[in-house]
């Protein structure tokens, strides 16, 4: 009976069968890498399970070509699949995320394949019919899965002695545009294996037929030799000097299914407390699911060249979770189970050492290739800033010199260290302003005087920024100071004196305004930070207005409030108007106060409570002004 593919798989299949993807070659690498994974699993399970053990043949992959039947066959002696595994593994797509992505990017047929590595299904790019014969050590019977693509698949029992899997591809007919017969050419296969699968640490064997003329006569003889096509030396064990950039890139893109070259390759070898080889990569683009729970961080772990564990997240700290790659150590005991491994002291040593290496690499990049570092930071800087905030600031020390902020100094990225190097004489604080975009922040009333006086201000554009700075509290002995909070202390002694007098003279006016909006603000003040704007809202020390916005996104915290202060510019024309109104028409002050408060909210990007009331009041003021 024919079974149908699950809906998602069907769509992906469709994509493969009618693929316009030019690099069809990758199907072979996908099948070989599946075979290699299956061999890894068998090797690992055999350490503790005798059923898996008795190898009747070596752990290897074999490629067979049959020109007459137009078949290409990949045989492995790996772990094989039981009936329901055949059903589940080959009837559905594990990575459903790829299809979500596809739906959002309907024109990008090409990209999806490279980006997600669709594995087994890619074989449908070249095959019109696929047969998978497989035998698992955990089931008596072997099974055969067969499909011609869209119209479903069948599974039936077969006789098969060997544990392992055999994937038989019946190649499509050649057409004017496409040549599939090339995959029957042993030279082409050798080329593909050496390009994409050279480092696979099981032999990939093939019978190569050559025709030779006999030495002593004209007669030709056909020689069949079994050749191992791959060198089997893992890339990370090879000498750095002999590895080309292309080899690194290919390795990364294949193994970690990314269609972009890595931004940075970190290949090193450490001998000491713990000895290991590592080959790490910093991606050049943010993985599509990086900020979702679907993204799994971690490095592959090998022991003496043998795969032990995928995505060992305990090997990289959370704030470096964007790093991909692998670690191969001779010091880990293979017989210990995966659970014990997690607590292994050796694992802790590994983590510390890897963390240090990543940190040094980033510092180096920052120092020697600023533009590349900034590109990296655009991708993963957010993770570093979260890192500062996480675990009560435990990692702040490690990360504080790796973070960048946009700043009013030439509107560029700056490190905190660079900011400090440009401090004005007697400047005691590091100023920052928080919001969503630089253009809006620049125009904020609170910024005018600071910029005028030549102070540099950091723009905090991500919602985590202010929380991170709150954890750091200081850098190099200077405290962080929000330009939207508390007192700024920018005034000269004379200005201070003048302000004091203004406060004295206008006591009644200020308290009348305060009375009108006392539910909303803690205080109404004569401002020392405003220059050409009439009013602004600032927060008291403690929670800032931006933090209030962030916290309010959580429904449980919707009542959270920053303590607000309304500041009025005594040197603005409006101030005179207020004085007049207060003298001649004191009951009107209430309306003025409400309108000014609402305006200050709008400038901060906060919602006003009653927009209709606000609009009506502004209208009324316009009418009154022209009576």
Q: Does residue 204 belong to the site contacting ligand ADP (CB under 6 A)?
A: no
Is 93 exposed, middle or buried, given 0-12, 13-18 or 19+ CB atoms closer than 10 A?
A: buried
CA distance 437 to 459: 8
Comparing CB distances to ligand ADP, the nearer of 79 and 384 is 79
**Binding of ligand ADP by 133 (CB under 6 A):** no
Least Å distance, CB 308 to ligand ADP, is 17
Q: Which of 276, 130, 254, 258 is nearest to 197 (CA)?
A: 254
- Binding status of residue 119 toward ligand ADP by CB under 6 A: yes
Is residue 459 a contact residue for ligand ADP (CB under 6 A)? no
Nearer to ligand ADP among residue 116 and residue 592 (C-beta): 116
Q: Give the binding range for ligand ADP (CB under 6 A) out of 31-39, 419-427, 548-556, 564-572.
A: 31-39
Rounded to 5°, the CA angle 188-192-196 comes to 175
Specify whether the backbone of 117 is left (phi greater than 0), alpha (psi in -120 to 50) or beta: left
60 interacts with ligand ADP by CB under 6 A: no
- The DSSP element (H or E) to which 258 belongs, if any, is none
* Residue 120 sits in the site that holds ligand ADP (CB under 6 A): yes
**Segment contacting ligand ADP by CB under 6 A, of 116-124, 216-224, 277-285, 494-502:** 116-124
Shortest separation between residue 89's beta carbon and ligand ADP, angstroms: 3
Q: Is residue 536 near ligand ADP by the rule CB under 6 A? A: no
Indicate which single residue of 98, 165, 277, 528 sits in contact with ligand ADP (rule: CB under 6 A): 165
Q: Is 89 in the site for ligand ADP (CB under 6 A)?
A: yes
| Non-local CB neighbours of 388 within 8 Å, separated by 6+ positions | 395, 396, 399, 400, 403, 468, 471, 472
Please pick, from the candidates 35, 279, 327, 589, the single residue that binds ligand ADP as defined by CB under 6 A.
Answer: 35
Q: Does 94 bind ligand ADP (CB under 6 A)?
A: yes
Facing residues of 208 across strands?
225
Contact between 79 and ligand ADP per CB under 6 A: yes
Dig out the tokens for 138 from the structure. Answer: 């955990």
Pairing type for strands 299-303 and 324-329 reads parallel
The window from 74-82, 151-159, 276-284, 531-539 that contacts ligand ADP (CB under 6 A) reads 74-82
Nearest distance, CB of residue 445 and ligand ADP, angstroms: 55
Residue 149 interacts with ligand ADP (CB under 6 A)? no
Question: What φ, ψ does residue 306 adopt, rounded to 5°?
Answer: -105, 130
Q: Which stretch binds ligand ADP (CB under 6 A): 88-96, 99-107, 466-474, 563-571?
A: 88-96
What does the alpha-carbon distance between residue 145 and residue 159 come to, in Å, rounded to a whole number?
Answer: 13
Instruction: Measure Cα distances from 52 to 78, 86, 138, 335 in Å.
Output: 10, 18, 8, 15
| Angle at CA of residue 552, ends 548 and 558, nearest 5° | 115
Question: Assign residue 411 a region: left if phi > 0, alpha if psi is -120 to 50, beta otherwise?
Answer: left
CB 103 within 8 A of CB 112: no
Taking CB under 6 A as the rule, does residue 61 contact ligand ADP?
no
- Contact between 76 and ligand ADP (CB under 6 A)? yes
State the Cα–Cα distance between residues 484 and 548, nearest whole angstrom. Answer: 13
Beta strand spans in 557-598 (E)? 564-568
Q: Which stretch binds ligand ADP (CB under 6 A): 115-123, 378-386, 484-492, 592-600?
A: 115-123
Distance CA 430, CA 313 (A): 36
Q: Does 62 bind ligand ADP (CB under 6 A)?
A: no
CB of 9 or CB of 506, closer to ligand ADP: 9
75 binds ligand ADP (CB under 6 A): no
Distance CA 88, CA 91 (A): 5
User: Does residue 137 interact with ligand ADP by CB under 6 A?
Assistant: no
Task: Count the site residues for ligand ADP by CB under 6 A.
Answer: 16
What Rg value do the Cα atoms of the chain yield, rounded? Answer: 34
Question: Does residue 27 interact with ligand ADP by CB under 6 A?
Answer: no
Q: Which of 38, 204, 316, 562 binds ligand ADP (CB under 6 A)?
A: 38
CB of 444 to ligand ADP, least distance (A): 50
Residue 164 CB, nearest distance to ligand ADP (Å)? Answer: 7
Query: Looking at the DSSP assignment, which residues form a beta bridge with residue 267?
Result: 279
Residues 493-532 touching ligand ADP, rule: CB under 6 A, are none
353 binds ligand ADP (CB under 6 A): no
Name the residue with the smallest CB distance to ligand ADP.
Answer: 119
Tell me which residues touch ligand ADP (CB under 6 A).
30, 34-35, 38, 76, 78-81, 89-90, 94, 119-121, 165
């Amino acid at each position: 009976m024919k079974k149908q593919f699950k809906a998602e798989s069907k769509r992906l299949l469709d994509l493969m069968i009618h693929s316009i993807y030019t690099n069809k070659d990758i199907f072979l690498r996908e099948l070989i890498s599946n075979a290699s994974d299956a061999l890894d699993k068998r090797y690992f399970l055999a350490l503790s399970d005798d059923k898996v053990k008795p190898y009747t043949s070596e752990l290897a992959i074999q490629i067979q070509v049959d020109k007459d039947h137009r078949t290409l066959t990949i045989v492995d002696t790996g772990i094989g699949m039981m009936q329901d595994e055949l059903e589940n593994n080959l009837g559905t797509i594990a990575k459903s995320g790829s299809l979500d992505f596809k739906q959002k990017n309907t024109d990008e047929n090409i990209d999806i394949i490279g980006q997600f590595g669709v594995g087994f299904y890619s074989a449908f790019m070249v095959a019109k019919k696929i047969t998978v014969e497989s035998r698992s050590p955990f089931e008596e019977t072997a099974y055969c899965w067969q499909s011609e693509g869209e119209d479903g698949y069948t599974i039936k029992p077969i006789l098969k002695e060997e544990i392992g899997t055999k994937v038989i591809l019946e190649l499509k007919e050649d057409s004017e545009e496409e040549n599939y017969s090339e995959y029957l050419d042993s030279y082409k296969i050798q080329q593909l294996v050496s390009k994409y699968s050279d480092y696979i640490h099981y032999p990939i064997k093939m019978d190569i037929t050559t025709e030779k003329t006999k030495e002593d006569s004209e007669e030709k003889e056909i020689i069949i030799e079994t050749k191992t096509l791959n060198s089997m030396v893992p890339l990370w064990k090879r000498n750095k000097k002999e590895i080309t950039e292309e080899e690194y890139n290919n390795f990364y893109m294949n193994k970690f299914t990314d269609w972009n070259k890595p931004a940075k390759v970190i290949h090193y070898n450490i001998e000491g407390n713990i000895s290991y080889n590592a080959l790490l990569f910093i991606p050049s683009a943010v993985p599509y699911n990086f900020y979702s729970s679907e993204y799994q961080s971690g490095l592959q772990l090998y022991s003496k060249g043998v795969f032990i564990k995928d995505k060992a997240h305990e090997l990289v700290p959370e704030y470096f979770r964007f790093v991909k790659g692998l670690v191969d150590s001779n010091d880990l005991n293979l017989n210990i189970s995966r659970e014990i491994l997690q607590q292994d002291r050796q694992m802790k040593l590994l983590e510390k050492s890897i963390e240090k290496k990543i940190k040094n690499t980033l510092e180096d990049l920052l120092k020697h290739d600023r533009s590349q570092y900034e590109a990296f930071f655009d991708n993963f800087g957010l993770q570093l800033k979260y890192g500062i905030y996480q675990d009560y600031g435990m990692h702040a020390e490690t990360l504080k010199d790796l973070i960048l902020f946009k700043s009013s100094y030439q509107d560029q990225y700056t490190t905190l260290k660079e900011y400090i190097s440009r401090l004005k004489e007697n400047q005691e604080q590091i100023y920052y302003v928080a919001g969503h975009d630089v253009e809006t922040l620049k125009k904020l009333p609170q910024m005018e005087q600071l910029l005028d006086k030549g102070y540099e201000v950091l723009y905090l554009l991500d919602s985590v920024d202010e929380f991170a700075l709150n954890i750091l509290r200081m850098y190099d002995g200077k405290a962080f100071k929000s330009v939207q909070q508390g007192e700024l202390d920018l005034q000269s002694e004379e200005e201070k004196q003048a302000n004091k007098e203004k406060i004295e003279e206008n006591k009644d006016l200020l308290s009348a305004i305060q009375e009108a909006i006392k539910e909303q603000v803690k205080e109404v003040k004569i401002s020392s930070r405003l220059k050409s704007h009439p009013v602004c809202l600032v927060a008291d020390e403690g929670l800032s207005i931006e933090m209030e916005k962030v916290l309010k996104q959580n429904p449980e915290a919707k009542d959270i409030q920053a303590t607000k202060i309304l500041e009025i510019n005594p040197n603005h024309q409006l101030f005179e108007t207020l004085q007049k109104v207060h003298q001649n028409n004191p009951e009107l002050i209430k309306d003025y106060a409400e309108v000014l408060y609402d305006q200050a909210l709008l400038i901060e990007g906060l919602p006003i409570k009653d927009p209709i009331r606000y609009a009506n009041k502004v209208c009324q003021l316009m009418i009154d002004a022209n009576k």
